[in-house]
Amino acid sequence: MRDIINGFLRFQREVFPKRRELFKKLASKQSPMTLFISCSDSRMVPELVTQSDPGNLFVIRNAGNIVPSFGPEPGGVSATVEYAVAALKVRDIVVCGHSNCGAMTAVATCACLDHMPAVRKWLRHSDAARMINEAQAHTDEQARIDGMVRENVKAQLNNIRTHPSVALALAQKSLTLHGWVYDIESGSIDALDTDTDCFVPLAEHRAARP
């Protein structure tokens, strides 16, 4: 905890004064263009890997970068998606998984989660991805886990389309969905190509072209 407090004191002393104008502008309103949905994993830092300033990204983070399908009893993720799309009018939504994800490893390896009942229940939102991944041939355990991470991103993009605010914005062509997978060791990102349903390096993805 000492490191965190010292970090804040350094921010207050050294960083904040240099960005004073930005924070003054942000004090009364925000207008982020992107909703970024990623895992809570400490190694994946959305603002760092996208080099985004405060005010740029509206962020949802949870175990497994999961978006439950819309239902009669919407929860916190659904409310946050709805606010981002209907009130803030974000133009893009990125669902970003990552390598070596603990949540997806548990799903892919059918780990016993009896001692973590909330996690076990939460990860049921990845059932469609698990079924698809299990039906595929994998060379080894690592490939099975990597496949699960990718299928989960696709499944959560499907889930988010069930949200009324998202469905409306997509129909009005005012919103675009993106699926990414961040590799912790190499610092690279693969992006889903919706035409081929395959992941390609983000630098080569058509979204990266000017």
C-alpha neighbours within 13 Å on the C-beta side of residue 168: 9
Report the nearest approach of Zn ion to the CB of residue 64 (Å).
Answer: 6
The three-point CA angle 43-191-156 to 5° equals 75
* Least Å from the CB of residue 40 to Zn ion: 7
Residue 41 as a binder of Zn ion (CB under 5 A): the answer is yes
- Please report, as a single letter, which amino acid is at residue 173: K
Sites for Zn ion among residues 7-26 (CB under 5 A): none
Given a contact cutoff of 8 angstroms between Cβ atoms, the answer to whether 78 and 41 are in contact is: no
Specify the residue, 55 or 102, whose C-beta has the smaller distance to Zn ion: 102
> Judged by CB under 5 A, does residue 145 bind Zn ion?
no
Give 36 or 165: the residue with its C-beta nearer to Zn ion.
Answer: 36
Q: Which is nearer to Zn ion, 62 or 176 (CB)?
A: 62
Rounded Cα distance, 70 and 119, in Å: 19
Q: Which two tokens stand for residue 151?
A: 């299928």
* Tokens found for residue 55: 């005010």
Q: How far apart are CA 26 and CA 173, in angstroms?
A: 28
Question: In the window 64-103, what residues touch Zn ion (CB under 5 A)?
Answer: 101
Amino acid letter, residue 7:
G
Q: How many residues in the shown chain lie near Zn ion by CB under 5 A?
A: 3
Told to check if 129 binds Zn ion by CB under 5 A, we report no
Among 32, 36, 38, 39, binds Zn ion (CB under 5 A): 39
Q: Interface with Zn ion by CB under 5 A: which residues?
A: 39, 41, 101
